[in-house]
């Protein structure tokens, strides 16, 4: 491959502005347009962008010119083989572009990555770290069907692009998280203010939980109510819900085992989990879809679990840490309010 020409700077910067001026997500047209411009600038037609997760793992967020399942397949293989770094990890760790001229002749490439490259027919790649102010925030990677040569000038140009995009992406991520965090803090304040200023009964408190959490968190549905041990297991009286049919409210359900296993202690963090429909047990009729992302919080009083909040979304990415923070704080406040109302 000859040395890639410089991208159209005006068009490139225009697309880059999308990262600076507003939140960008993998489904955002400006995000996809930016990728198109980048890959054209390096004379590639396939590739993807990866971002670093809170757990410190590179995760593919969107691919260009590839099959829809590529991102999922890459992320699964990458997570399973996290102890066996690939060239993309190397570019991220060394904070410099990595170009592989012939993937089949590079002995440093781990077998899992070789298999993935062979499956998609890739012969060469170039991975560019997206540099934030202090450290990388992700990777841009382009793949080639044929063996390609990259000179130092090309890699230097790609590093310039990486710094531009990384700085812009970092600003977008920080600004969006800050804005989201402030909005969620407002919902918690609103819950506390409403409980203090109104004579709500216990049922109305559960309804308030569902109403305000639904406003704060992107979700498909949720349920909340008191629980008690019975002969068959742990019984939930569904006091309030969103995305469930109205006749289910006030009915009793035996909680499925996974909910009881996943309820964290009051001080612990809850993690989003993927749940198959058959795992819902008696709640299965309330939750559509084959799989759902689920976030669970218990309501404790004097270290005793006496209520639960369950939120889910179908489909969608996992819930975020700030989502759990909302559930955790509201669950704690609601537990106190419910006891006062007894």
Compute φ and ψ for 235, nearest 5 degrees.
-95, 130
Per the DSSP assignment, residues forming a β-bridge with 228 are 235
Given this model, what pLDDT does residue 118 score? Answer: 94
Pick the CATH number of 9-175 from 3.40.640.10, 3.30.360.10, 3.30.450.40, 2.30.30.30: 3.30.450.40
Assign domain 198-340 to its CATH architecture: 2-Layer Sandwich (3.30)
Q: Do domains 9-175 and 198-340 have the same CATH topology?
A: yes
Taking residues 27-43, what's their average pLDDT? Answer: 63
Q: What is the DSSP string of 270-334?
A: P--EEEEGGGGGGGGGGS-SSEEEEEEEEEEETTEEEEEEEEEESS-PPPPHHHHHHHHHHHHHH
Structure tokens at 332: 């704690």
Token pair 């040569």 in the structure block, residue:
149
Given this model, what pLDDT does residue 173 score? Answer: 43
Given this model, what pLDDT does residue 139 score? Answer: 83
Whether the pLDDT of residue 24 is over 50: the answer is: no
Whether the pLDDT of residue 7 is over 90: the answer is: no
The residue ranges of every structural domain in the chain are: 9-175, 198-340
Taking residues 210-214, what's their average pLDDT? Answer: 89
Taking residues 22-30, what's their average pLDDT? Answer: 47
Residues in contact with 247: Cβ distance below 8 Å, sequence separation at least 6, in sequence order? none
Whether the pLDDT of residue 26 is over 60: the answer is: no
pLDDT tens-digit map of 102-156: 999 888 899 999 999 999 999 998 888 876 655 677 788 889 898 877 666 656 5
Whole-number average pLDDT of the chain: 77
32-36, 186-190, 336-340: segment of lowest average pLDDT: 32-36
Interaxial angle between packed helices 152-197 and 9-21, expressed in degrees from 0 to 180 and rounded to the nearest 10? 20
Higher-pLDDT residue of 55 and 108 is 108
Whether the pLDDT of residue 34 is over 80: the answer is: no
Q: What's the farthest any 2 CA atoms get from each other in the chain?
A: 77
Taking residues 70-76, what's their average pLDDT? Answer: 92
Q: What is the DSSP string of 237-271?
A: E--EEESS-GGGTT-EEEPPHHHHHHPPPTTSPP-
pLDDT tens-digit map of 235-291: 999 999 998 888 999 999 999 999 988 888 766 778 888 999 899 999 998 887 788
Q: Label residue 226 by pLDDT band (50, 70, 90).
A: very high
R_g of the chain computed on alpha carbons: 24
Mean pLDDT comparison of 48-52, 59-63, 134-138, 221-225, highest-scoring range: 221-225
Compute φ and ψ for 17, nearest 5 degrees.
-60, -25
Q: Label residue 13 by pLDDT band (50, 70, 90).
A: very low
Question: CA dist 21 to 17, 24, 112, 176, Å?
Answer: 6, 9, 38, 11
Higher-pLDDT residue of 189 and 167 is 189
Given this model, what pLDDT does residue 250 score? Answer: 93
Q: Label residue 183 by pLDDT band (50, 70, 90).
A: low
Nearest Cα residue to 287 out of 313, 261, 268, 306: 313
Taking residues 58-79, what's their average pLDDT? Answer: 88
Given this model, what pLDDT does residue 340 score? Answer: 64
Question: Mapping DSSP to helix (H, G, I), strand (E, B) and coil, where does residue 166 land?
Answer: helix
Taking residues 175-203, what's their average pLDDT? Answer: 65
Residue 259 contacts residue 296 (beta carbons within 8 Å) = yes
Q: Label residue 18 by pLDDT band (50, 70, 90).
A: very low
Whole-number percent of the chain with pLDDT over 70: 71
Higher-pLDDT residue of 4 and 248 is 248
- C-alpha 216/C-alpha 257 separation (Å) is 27
**How deeply is 227 buried, as exposed, middle or buried, from its count of CB atoms within 10 A (0-12, 13-18, 19+)?**
buried
Residue 71 contacts residue 47 (beta carbons within 8 Å) = no
């Amino acid at each position: 491959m000859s040395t890639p020409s410089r991208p159209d700077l005006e068009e490139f910067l225009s697309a880059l502005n999308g990262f600076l001026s507003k939140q960008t997500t993998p489904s955002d047209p400006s995000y996809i347009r930016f990728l198109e411009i980048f890959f054209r600038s390096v004379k590639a037609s396939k590739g993807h962008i990866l971002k670093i997760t809170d757990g410190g793992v590179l995760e593919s967020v969107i691919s260009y010119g590839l099959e829809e399942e590529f991102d999922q397949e890459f992320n699964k293989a990458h997570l399973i083989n996290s102890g066996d770094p690939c060239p993309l990890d190397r570019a991220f760790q060394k904070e410099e572009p990595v170009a592989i001229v012939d993937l089949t002749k590079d002995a440093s490439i781990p077998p899992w990555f070789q298999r993935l490259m062979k499956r998609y027919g890739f012969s060469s790649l170039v991975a560019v770290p997206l540099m934030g102010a202090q450290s990388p925030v992700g990777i841009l990677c382009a793949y080639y069907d044929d063996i390609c040569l990259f000179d130092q000038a090309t890699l230097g140009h790609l590093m310039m692009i990486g710094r531009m995009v990384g700085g812009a992406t970092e600003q977008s991520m920080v600004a969006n998280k800050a804005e989201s965090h402030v909005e969620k803090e407002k919902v918690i304040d609103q819950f506390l203010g409403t409980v203090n200023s109104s004579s709500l009964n216990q049922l109305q408190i559960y309804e308030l939980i569902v109403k305000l959490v639904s406003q704060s968190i992107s979700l498909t549905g949720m349920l909340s109510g008191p629980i008690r041990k019975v002969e068959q297991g742990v019984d939930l009286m569904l006091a309030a819900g969103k995305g469930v049919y109205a006749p289910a409210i006030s009915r009793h359900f035996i909680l499925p085992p996974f909910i009881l296993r996943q309820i964290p202690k009051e001080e612990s963090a809850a993690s989003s989990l993927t749940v198959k429909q058959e795992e819902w047990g008696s709640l299965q009729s309330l939750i559509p879809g084959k799989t759902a992302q689920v976030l669970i919080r218990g309501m404790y009083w004097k270290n005793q679990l006496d209520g639960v909040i369950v939120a889910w979304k179908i489909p969608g990415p996992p819930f975020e840490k700030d989502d759990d923070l909302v559930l955790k704080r509201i669950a704690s406040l609601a537990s106190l309010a419910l006891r006062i109302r007894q």
